[in-house]
Structures are given as structure tokens and as C-alpha cells.
Structure 1
């Protein structure tokens, strides 16, 4: 191999060259096949330095793959974090990779991002500006980001006093993998009873069916090969199931209705109060 690979800079340049050529080949294949593409994640992210960067992925179906493939495109430095500058940076990056405006107009079908104001603002967000260029695209709020925000809201609303010490060790924040790892580690070390409960509940049938169904839906949405269409279908089907349960009473709701009708709860007589309301 000679002496070139003994030097870090030389190895870095060789790896970068190989990666760029592989990326060119993949993008050329996508363009020639006129494959539909989804901008799966365009996330304005700040590193430990004061600089901001734009992380760009796309999802498409390659000819030799049965399932859609996620492809990393680039990390682009942002001189400004305004919606217009982010949009221009994104378009310039795609154009430099070989994706012409004509190709994007015919084959760009969706864009997914978080719901930050600069990304999804209705008047001047990045997605709004992209819609002006490509009116046909479907906008999708990142399911992982939606889940992270949901967990954060539940913690703030229902368990403020039980886990208020977690933020002091920088967990339960929206920092994705690092946040999840710190949470699991903290719970594993400090809440053995909770770990035992989760272990029992994982494979047990004691949980209500709704909890099990939502847990299964969450796991399905985290699959690496899931598409926007299939994710939307799974969420829609689950919503239909929950709506149907509102219309057709379950066993617990029937018991509650019986208690209201008989004014008797576990042999304890009940009385109608001034603010009594029927179910």
C-alpha cells in the first residue's frame, strides 16, 4: 500500500474522493431512472460551535432494492438561519448534486421536517417557500420529532414533580439519540422498581389493549424502511379504531354509565349534586 495511507490527511482525502464518486453514481442512477424522491429530513441544527448547518437526506426507491432507501446527501454550512436563506441553500445544494429544477418539479413528491417556525411557518417558512417552487409536494411533520415533543408535553403536564430533576442532568430534552440514551441510563440505574414494571409490562397482557396498540404503532413508526404513505395509513387506521371505540362503549365505560344510572358505586350510594352532568 505504500506510505501514503500512513498519513491522516491523505486517508481523509482518499475517503472523501471515494464517497463523492459513490454519491455521484447513486444520484445519476436516481435521475436516469426518474425515481420519485422525498426530502426526508432537512433540519437546521447548531453544533457546539456558533455555526449552523443544514442536514439533508432523501428517500427513494433504487432499482435493485425492494424497499425505499434513505440516502445522506450533505451537511451544508448556513451563513444565515432565515427561511429564505435556508431554502436557497437547500435548492443550491440539490442543484449542485445534479437535481435540476425540472427533475424536482416532476419527481419531488414530499418534504419532511420538524415544526420549527423557520421550517414550517405558514407565511415565510422553508416549506412554504418550497411549495412556491414545487406546488405538488406533500408536507410531513417528522414523526420522530412529533413523538419527542409529545413525550416532553406529557412529562411537563403529568409528572412535573416526579422527574423535575431529570433536566438538571440534561435528559428529557429534544436531543434525540443522546437524550434517549441518558434517559434510559438514568431510569435503569435509579428507578429499579420502574424497570421491573416495564419488564413485566413488556410481554404481559395486563395492559389495556389501547396501550398495547399505541406501543405497537410507535415501534412501527420507528422502522427504518417505513415510508410516509405507510406511516400515514397506520396512523389513520389507529385513529379510526379509537374513534370507533368512542362510538361503541367499552366495558369500563359501560360500568361508568351503569353507576350514573343507578347512583351506586361499589355499594356506596351517590347523590346528584348541583353541578351534576350526564355522560
Structure 2
């Protein structure tokens, strides 16, 4: 259990959003903002909501036995295991539901660790690649992910991944290495080369995701476009990826991955699907 991060979470319950942060240079682009606002303004139907205060097992299942999950008054405290460079200390929280079509994901995220290396990931439309034993329904091979080796995911799942609150894996990395990046699994689509799984462009995230600062994150997958907004009390940034670079995905589960030593509070998780046209 990550007692240090949990103690920090408990001590900060009464002071969310009260920590000031210097405003870095804005990365907003008016065209990108307009594209995002148009996508967000489309007709969406909420199909899952999780406040973070109800039992997490009602909506999720877990890969990784060293994780800590605790319902607090201000959301779900979620910490990976405490041991650096330990595959068994990784964790993934998966939705029990699967989703299809255009999708909107929103949640409040407050970082509770002070580790400026390793990453958090959002997994979208996750299914198995299909060959036994990695069947499309990933819940049928949960036992193979009791230790959440990263290769088990990027070699045997179809999904989109967004790295956020992410830093270089070097233990000497600093917060100046912060980035946001999208990838498409499995690795075989990139000829087995992990570095070629990236969906351009990469973005700097320096100045975002400081510990104790609540960020509202919105991710929209619409057709061949993946959009993201990250908003905190002092700024808002927008991100976009062209999915026409990769085979389309439109059905599967959503996951939240913490690599070892990473911890956060999640609340007000909302998942919506696009309303079908009457035409």
C-alpha cells in the first residue's frame, strides 16, 4: 500500500482547488478549441457514471494485486504498488461495461504522488487481439494479467492509449519531461517496433498535473479523430490526433493504468456515447 500518497490524499480532502499555480505559456489554438467545442456540443447519451464515492467494484475490475483502492469523500483514491521498476506494482482499473461508437469520457483527476517519472494511461476501446488465449473479451483472461506486464497489453490488445500525467521512465527524470502522447496497440501493427506505435503529434505537458491540483479531463473519440481537453483552475489546453493513421476502433472497454508508484484521486467519471441519427 502507498501509505504516503494515501496520507496526502486524506490530508488534502478539505483543500482541493485551493492551491495556486503559476500559469505557463498557453498552448491553446483557436481552431483546435473550436473543433473540440463542436464535438463536445454534439448529442451524447451518458451510459456510465461513477462518482468515486460508491464501491468501485460496482463499475470496475482490477489488474494488479499491489494496488490500493479506497473510497474517500472526495473520490476514489487509486494507487499502484510502491516498488519502482516492479511489474507487479503496476495496476489497471477496467470498466465492467464495454462501449461502442463515438465516445466521450470525462473525469476529475488529482495527482497524489510526487514521483516525476513513470506514467498514467487512459485505455480506450480495449479488446483482445482474438487469437487464443487472448480472446476479444479481456475479462475472459484476467488471470493472465495478475502481474500487469506492459507487453501483455501492447502485444495482445487492440486499443487506443493516451499517456497523461506522464514523465520519462528514467528514475532521474524531472517534471520538465512531462508529455501527453497517443498510441495504437497492438505492437504488431507497427511491425513489432514499440516506438512506431505513436500517433502523431506528441505534446509537452510541462506545467500540468502538479500534485494536489484537480484537473478536469475530457476525451472525445469521434470518427477518425481523437480529442482531449485538460483544464485546471488556471488554464485549459487542447490536444488532437488524426486516427486515420491507424485501423479504426469503435468497441471495447475503458481502462485507467497507473505504473508503479503513481497515485491519484478520481471522481465524477462520466462515459457517454453518441446518439444515433434517425436517418
TM score, norm. by length of structure 1: 0.24
**If each structure's strand is expressed as a fraction of its own residues, which one has the higher value?**
2
Question: Which structure's relative contact order is higher, taking Cα pairs within 8 Å and 6+ residues apart?
Answer: 2
**If each structure's helix is expressed as a fraction of its own residues, which one has the higher value?**
1
Larger Rg: 1
TM score, norm. by length of structure 2: 0.24
